[in-house]
Structure formats: C-alpha cells, structure tokens
Structure 1
Amino acid sequence: MSTRNIAVVGSGYMGGGIAQVLALAGARVALADVSAEIAQGNYERLLKESDEFVAAGLFPANATDLLKENLWAAKDIEEAVSGAEYIEEAVPEVLEIKHATLGRISAAARPDAIIGSNTSTISIAKLAEVVENPERFLGVHFSNPAPFIPGVEVIPHEGTSEATVQAARTIVGETGKETATVKDVTGFVLNRLQYALFHEAAQVVEEGIASAEDVDTLVRTTFGFRLPFFGPFAIADMAGLDVYAFCYKSLQTGFPERFATPKILQEKVDAGQLGTKTGSGFLDVPADRTAALVAYRNKAYVAMQKLIEELGPAPLS
C-alpha cells in the first residue's frame, strides 16, 4: 500500500484503530477530527498504544516507527481528504453528525475518491444522500478492536458502482483483512447475527433456564468453539442438513414460531442435499473431501484448546 494516500475522519477508538491498520500496511494515512488538537492528541495516543502493543507482542517490532512514517494528523477534514484516493469516515453513530461530516468530505475530496463509512447500524443509502457522486460511496464496517479483528463488512447501496466495491475490497484486502460483501438492509449481516444470538441468550436468562455465566460457558465451549474455523453453513453441512431439519421439528414443540424450519433448509433436505455426506449442501463440499475436512477440524479444535489453556481464563472475575 506504499503508494496509497488515505484519510480517516474520526480519530477516536474505532477510527484510530482503522488508521493504525492502514498505516501499518504501508499507506500514507491522514487522521482528522473536529479540531487539529483532537487529531494530534489521538495521533500521539496511537503511538503510545503502539508501543504498548509492541511490548506485549501484539504489533511487529517496527510498528511505532511505521506509524510515525505513515500516519499524520491533519489540521482539518479538508486538508486530510484533499489528496486521498480512499476516505474512511468513523465519526459517532448519529445521523446528523455523519451527514455533516460526509458532506464536508465529499465537497473537499477528489471527485473519484472512494468514501467508506464505518457505520454499524445506519442505512448506507440514507448516508449517501449527502455525498456528491454517491456511486463512489459504500459502507466499510470494521469490527472492534480494528487492529485485531480480521473481518470487514463491505456494504454497497443500490447506487454504488461495482468498481467502487472492488476497489474498497482491494484496499481492505491489502491490510490482510478478509471482506464479505452484503446488502444494505437493517443490521447488515454482522449485527443481525450477533444480536439474534444475544436476544435468544437474554431470553434464556430471563426465563431462569441458565445463568449468564453458564450461557457464556456453553457458547464459548461448544458451538462458539467451532466458529473461528467454520461458519454456520459449514457447520450445518458437516452435521447433516437432515439432522438440522429434525432438530428444528423438536424445537418447534416448545417454540413453534421462533424455530420454524427455514425454507432454504427444507428445500435442501427435500432435494436430498444433506451436506458433506451427500457431497452437496449449502457449500457443496465434495464427499471425497470429507476425510480431509474431518482431519482438519479435529486438528483445529485441539490447537484451539491448547491456545486457550496457554492464555488462561479471561480476567472477567
């Protein structure tokens, strides 16, 4: 990324972390905020934080030097974005603040500069209303903490050009992150899934079925233990889609509406597409790859358990 000029507008916890990611990948990154003083203060915080991360073995040994070389605090938004090819907006989740900021960005930026918003909740189409040349605007949603979470949601609105989507994915990919492109709907995908789990967990605790501590234990030691390696569709394919359909029927005896069998699942089962055991399912993993997949799974789970034991329990109490 050494030839890229990028701006991050909003230098707080999320914006600062995103700026670190981009600068450590080699881009020249301008950091802007509501004032030059705040941008400079957060720039200095990011250097101090980098030193701490280096000492803890979380950043490479030369990280702080790279940040000093590639990251700089601009006097205002206009200076930060004037020469940038990509701009990441990371101001607070308030529509009025984002509209005002994006209006300033799009007025001062190059007409071909790509503008991404780190919003996690606000409609991308709604944000695009104040952006000049809205085809160059989309959501680029990093997760907290940005330096250490590898996934990034890319969210085009209906007017976003395909070239913009591909360029944004390329830029994010150059940092070593993985991108997933999703549609501009309420909650996008990340938060829709995350809050669905929390909603069910909260009901379990409210109904007195288990304590919050026991729910957390079950999630992190059972199905959550699989998630660093496999998403829900890979897990379902390996378990057997017919098994999933049967379990839905069992759940419906207690929660008929909440656990209605998904249409897409029933269609797969009716077509005999039962996952890895038939060589076709959601991901269409060939049956002759099952043995290698099982071997990888077992190795991954043992390695994960060893890592957890090495780290020790999280300091929650």
Structure 2
Amino acid sequence: MVTDDNSDSSARPTPPLSPAPHPAAPRKTAVVGSGYMGGGIAQRLALSGASVLIADVSAEIARSNLERLIAESDQFVTDGLFPAGATETIRANMTAAESIEAAVADADFIEEAVPERTEIKRETLRRISAAAKPDAIIGSNTSTILIGSLASVVENPGRFLGVHFSNPAPFIPGVEIIAHDATDPHAIEVAEAVVAATGKESARVKDVTGFVLNRLQYALFSEATQLVDEGVATPQDIDTVVRTTFGFRLPFFGPFAIADMAGLDVYALGYASMQTDFPERFATPAILQQHVDAGEYGTKSGGGFYGVGPERTPELVAYRNRAYVAMSKLLAELGPAPL
C-alpha cells in the first residue's frame, strides 16, 4: 500500500511569502471509465495536448472504446464539431491501458468516470489511489455523490476532489470543481489548470449533495413536474416557455445577473405575489430581501449581486441585445430540435 508522505504536517515546508505561480496542466493523464462521459473527457484531454491512458473493467473494453472515440472524432470533424486534424491528435495522445493500475501508475492527473454508484466509485478509487503516484491529483466526475464520502478510501486524500464535467463532455463548456474539507489548495489549482487547458470554464463549489448544477437542474424539473400534475401546461408547452423566455437568457447571464437587470425590488414583489397561493414554496429569499431593504435594486440603482450601476447599464443592455439577436439567428439557422 502507498503510504501518506504528507501525514506529518510539521514536516511540510514553510509556504513562500509570495504566491506560487498557477501550476501548468499536467501532461500525463489518465481517465478511468472510458464510456460515454469518460470517453468525452479523454477526448478533450487528448485535444489539449496531454497524453491520456484510458482504462475500463477490462483491456478489451478499453481498446473497443478507444476505437469508438477515434471513429467518433472522425464524425465530429466531418460535422465541423472538432477542428481539422483532431482525430490525428487524439490518436497520437490517447492509448488504451491493460488495467486501471497500468493507466494511473505514471499519471499526474487522474479522472475517475465510472458509473454513478457509490460502491463502484469507492472500489475504483481504492484501486486508483493504491496504484497512483503519491502526489498524483485524483478527480471524480460524480454528479451528485458527496466528495467527502468518497475521500475516505483515497490514500493521501488531500489530492482528491470533484472535477465534474457535464454531458456531453466534448461540448458543454462548464466544469464544477468540488473540494472536500481536506482537499489541498494545490489540487484545486491543478484541476483548474487541467480544465482551462481543455478550453472549458471551471467554477469552485462546496461539497454538498448535488453540488450546484444538479441542485438547480433538479429544482427546475421538480417545479416543472408540479405544473404538469396541476394541469397548468403540458410538458411540451412548459419546455417551450423555458427555452424561449428565461432559458433563452441563460447562455449569457446566470440567475443573479438576470435578477440584477430585472430589478431586485421587482423580484421581491414577484415573490410576494406568488406567496398568495404558495406561501412556503415561494418565500422571499433572505439574501434578496437584504439587498432590497438596503436600497440595492441591481443595475438601476447600483448594488445588488454584481454591483453594476446605472452608468454601465447602456453598455450592458447593448451587449444583451446583441447576444439575444445572435442567439435567435443561430436557432433559426439550426432549426427546431428533432423531438
């Protein structure tokens, strides 16, 4: 078994007085779990220039998935989704390993992407951490399982964290970075460097069940199903409302930026109105009421969540309008989804 070389905190060197430079993304990587999600992550790592060893429950499955990922890349290039030469880059940088242990033995960054079942992830992480170098950073692609509940099986758990890519991994740009209580800051920085090298954008979130992405996604879905159950609208009509109204804004602005632009006082009035029928479900959020009580209504007054004041509103509105028109043109060009 690999021992924890960092177990004696008194032996650690004194941190430098000035901040250390942000680490470069590791060039030796491994992805354990080469299916749909893991394979997409491996493609992005390979395209970033990193060498990638993929592993699965058997060498045969890993080799089969490697062939699939190369063929898939060819199709993506044909469709204009990957740049010219992408398949050659992936073929040069990605290799199927004979085992999990062989894949991770020399890797500096390892991404676990096995099925979303705690017992499978824990056993896989045991094998990964036992075979990996003591200082290799280990990320888990779990979408809902607490990182702290998985960290207990990882040797040197300070190097372990959540690195949650979203489906489909080759194309969705956002990645959640989730540290547990004992995650070393260096591990977070390395994970962020890996994500940045793939051309994606990361956000640090705390270790709570569902993290941010699925807390929000599932909350929206729960309210949508209640609307269907209440006979308010069909699933198809609800989807139309979402994608053509507030969902249309979401590629450009998150919920806090949207609230700032709408007016936090207006949001407070909206909550008050919905409380006539749903007093508990739509209780006014305390953080919203605090801003309103302070006279901080968002862009029209200054303050709010982003602190953008009236003097910058014309610039923001101009960007918003260009963005929405560009999105409308893109949707017209693509046509409706084949549902």
TM value normalised by structure 2? 0.92
Q: Partner of 1:119 in structure 2?
A: 142
Partners of 2:83 and 2:51 in 1: CA distance: 18
Tell me the CA shift for residue 174 of structure 1: 1.1
1:306 counterpart = 2:325: no
The reply on whether 1:167 has 2:190 as its aligned counterpart is: yes
Say yes or no: does 1:158 pair with 2:181. yes
SS at match of 1:72: strand
Residue 79 of structure 2 is aligned to residue 43 of structure 1? no
Q: Does 1:278 align with 2:329?
A: no
1:89-238 map, 5 Å: 89-238=112-261
2-structure distance, mates of 1:307, 1:234: 23
RMSD, matched Cα = 0.9
| Equivalent residues, number | 316
CA distance in 2, matches of 1:236, 1:128: 37
Which amino acid letter does the alignment assign opposite residue 315 of structure 1? P
Pairing of 1:54-73 with structure 2 (within 5 A): 54-73=77-96
Question: In the TM superposition, what whole-angstrom CA distance separates every residue of 1:107-134 from its partner, at most 9, and x where no partner exists?
Answer: 0101000000000111100100100000
CA-to-partner distance for each residue in 1:119-154, whole Å, 9 max, x for gaps?
011110010010000000000000000000000000
Give CA-to-partner distance per residue, 1:145-197, whole Å, 9 cap, x none: 00000000000000101111111111111111000110111111100000000
Quick one: distance in 2 between partners of 1:311 and 1:277? Answer: 35
User: Quick one: higher RCO (CA 8 Å, sep 6+), 1 or 2?
Assistant: 2
Give the whole-Å Cα distance in 2 for the aligned partners of 1:275 and 1:16.
42
AA aligned opposite 2:214: N
Does the 8 Å contact 1:30/1:71 carry over to 2? yes
Query: What is the one-letter code of the residue matched to 1:19?
Result: A
Gap runs ≥5 in structure 1:
none
User: Could you say what secondary structure the match of 2:154 adopts?
Assistant: coil
Query: Is this contact kept in 2: 1:7–1:80, CA < 8 A?
Result: yes
CA–CA separation in structure 2 for the residues paired with 1:232 and 1:122:
24
Q: Matched residue of 1:260: which SS?
A: coil
Classify the secondary structure of the residue corresponding to 1:141: strand
Q: Give the alignment partner of residue 5 of structure 1, picking from 15, 18, 28.
A: 28
- List per-residue Cα deviations over 1:59-105 (Å, max 9, x = no partner): 11101000110000000011110110000000011111111110010
> 2-side partners of 1:32 and 1:145: how far apart?
19
- State the AA in 1 paired with 2:63: Q
SS of the equivalent of 1:131 reads coil
Q: Percent identity?
A: 70
Matched, 1:246 2:248: no
TM-fit CA distance, 1:287:
2.4
Could you tell me which residue of structure 1 aligns to residue 57 of structure 2? Answer: 34
Displaced runs of 4 or more, over 2 A: none
- Corresponding position of 2:14: none
Residue type of the alignment partner of 1:184: D
Please give the secondary structure, in 2, of the residue aligned with 1:229: coil
1:289 aligns with 2:312: yes
CA distance 1:277–1:84, shift in 2 (3 Å): same
- Note the C-alpha offset of 1:2: 8.7
Shift of 1:288: 1.3
1:78 correspondence with 2:96: no
Match of 1:267 in 2: 290
TM-score by length of 1: 0.98
Mark the runs of 5 or more structure 2 residues left unpaired by the alignment: 1-23
